[in-house]
Chain A
């Protein structure tokens, strides 16, 4: 390994190499030769359609499933030998409300704190910290079954933070909650990231991933189809999206088409200027043709477009 390669390796918290996994009696493998790296302190978006293999990969990373082929290293430690040490430094916040509805929030926190073996001297401070981060104070002594969806999500997150993990797996942590709760949880996650926690984030809400993730990997049919820093992934687009005040005529589209690629999608003009042609001159040209601009979006791909282009658009089972 070169010095540069070694340095890069040291920056990675998770190193997955050639991982394959098949469930017994399944007709197709769930993961096929997946290789990816997760940088320390990053928020890593793990995307893919339902059944793509995300949950299987997270189950392997958290030690819920045993590795069949390939290699997984977490902070230099490997399964199965270092399983306990890896589990101690990480926590999973599942998509399900993985707590006891009959117990109060406080009882749930105390139970999981007991499993994490948090020393009694540290317990009050740790509980307070998790309660503060997730703003659970007012409902803490009520049965969890009575909580709203948003509070249940926050309790789910708080339980994952109890052990002060260096690595946090968040499996669709904002499913089924209102905009305010989602905003709160995303802000909390940003705060955790700023404190240096490495976060593996799965979601079907692409705008959330764009908002909080540094890197993104897309899995489809058990195969890794992409892993890139999100900035680089989205910067590739140079399209200009123009919503005109009136529908452009065929003549205007033909004239524009002589200078640049242009598509009318029924609502927007999607313009792709050739290299060297500034966007401002394109806009000036539109004005000269009397096209008033109601809305303008500049450049860049949307993650959803990239995602759909890579994973195809057909429905998944």
Chain B
């Protein structure tokens, strides 16, 4: 009965604190929406989202069509016939219109197959125009993809010529022998231990967990304000004259804010799943492990509450708590790859991110959303967060005991 009364009171106080609610629920939604949309292009480039290339095939030949099919199979690029995407103006050629669109960075590349491309083995095949905003690395990848497709077609042409000259070689598979068709000849592994990388984060996959972690730590403001007000108003003094065990007082704070944290998790995931796509962004992918998600979000909640209660017992005024809690969160967020994604940081800064528990939480979420991880994969981060949370709570209890004397 006592615990129920404490939890109900805490929730009543929070639901009447309009600023606290805005901080916990509105602020992260706004951040997710703004940052997901603002950083979409940057993330798209880095996350392997396909880049668009315009194609004008002036040869109209079967080998050219086959080469374009080959190149179009690449996960990195999408080839669009220019005639489908553009309409040339009066007196303007389609090529000129396509060149102008690429010059404006509307497309990453323009690929023109020359009219006599495959008539002889020494004929010039294609021209490529690269957009000014396209990086050298992306250009190199596009060119490698094109060269591979071209080499395959030329090999097929050579094979046809050889088989015409030498009928006894009719059963010989030049393509197979060349290795051009066989991906198994090269083993590829990625620089992540124990699990394969499925893909790099998109803007929404980075920003939803990042701002979710940030907002979960912001329980420090309403929680600390309530605790300090209780101390200043004498309410805590009155409560302590009633036989209420200390563990119930602590649980009466932790349980409602744990619940609030989990509501934040659900709400932010829904924003990533439904609201961001509605506004033109990518859809958040949740991964496979809902239990892993619960484990990491629970551990994160314990860490956030440990931090919040420690701030609450060490600060003398609500102003102090708001400043210390707010500034502390912003510093942890800046260090932890919340505000600036870790991968754009210099190497030294990247190594510093490990000091921030927000980074542990973010990596835990990304383990699940991005890397196909489950409970086992998030245990290191969850363990660290739980350890930190319990350390914060223990320190808070020590401070409270000293204050009672």
Contacts and interface: CB of A to CB of B under 8 A. Distances in A.
A102 B17 contact: yes
A101 B240 CA distance: 19
Nearest to A110: B5
Contacts of B242: 87, 112, 115-116, 163
Interface in A101-120: 101-103, 107, 110-117
A99 interface: yes
Nearest to A23: B405
B5 A100 contact: no
A115 B405 contact: no
Contacts of B340: none
Interface in A54-82: 62-65
Contacts of B240: 63-64
B5 A115 contact: yes
Tell me what chain B mostly uses at the interface: helix, strand, loop, or mixed. helix
Interface stretch (A88-96, A131-139, A278-286, A303-311): A88-96
B243 A88 contact: yes
B85 interface: no
Interface in A192-213: none
Contacts of A100: 9, 13, 233, 235
Interface in B355-405: 404-405
Pick the most buried of B8, B238, B243: most chain A CB atoms within 10 A of its CB: B238
Contact of B5 (A83, A95, A114): A114
Interface in A123-156: 143
Contacts of A115: 2, 5-6, 239, 242, 244
B344 interface: no
Nearest to A63: B241
B136 interface: no
Nearest to A113: B5
A102 B13 contact: yes
B238 A159 contact: yes
Contact of B238 (A65, A83, A88, A94): A94
B130 to A, nearest CB: 62
Contact of A96 (B2, B233, B244, B405): B233
B243 A84 contact: yes
Nearest to B405: A24
Chain B residues touching A, range: 20 to 34
Contacts of B5: 110-111, 113-115
B13 A94 contact: no
A98 B405 contact: no
Interface string B217-250: 0000000000000000111011111111000000
Given A23-B405, A24-B405, A98 B237 contact: yes
Contact of B9 (A62, A83, A111, A116): A111
B243 A98 contact: no
A163 B238 CA distance: 13
Contact of B8 (A24, A111, A116): A111
B120 interface: no
B291 interface: no
A98 B13 contact: no
Interface in B1-26: 1-2, 4-6, 8-9, 12-13, 16-17
A23 B405 CA distance: 7
B301 to A, nearest CB: 24
A184 interface: no
Contacts of A111: 5, 8-9
B243 A92 contact: no
Contacts of A113: 5
Nearest to B245: A84
Contacts of A84: 243
Contacts of A99: 233, 235, 238
A71 B249 CA distance: 28
A99 B6 CA distance: 13
B1 A117 contact: yes
12 contacts: A62-B241, A63-B241, A90-B241, A98-B235, A99-B235, A102-B12, A102-B16, A103-B9, A115-B242, A116-B242, A117-B2, A143-B16
Interface of A: 23-24, 62-65, 83-84, 87-88, 90-92, 94-103, 107, 110-117, 143, 159, 163
Given A92-B238, A95-B234, 5 more contacts: A87-B241, A92-B241, A96-B233, A96-B234, A112-B242
The 8 A-B residue pairs with the shortest CB-CB distance in the complex, in nearest-first order? A114-B5, A96-B234, A98-B234, A98-B238, A84-B243, A92-B241, A62-B241, A87-B243
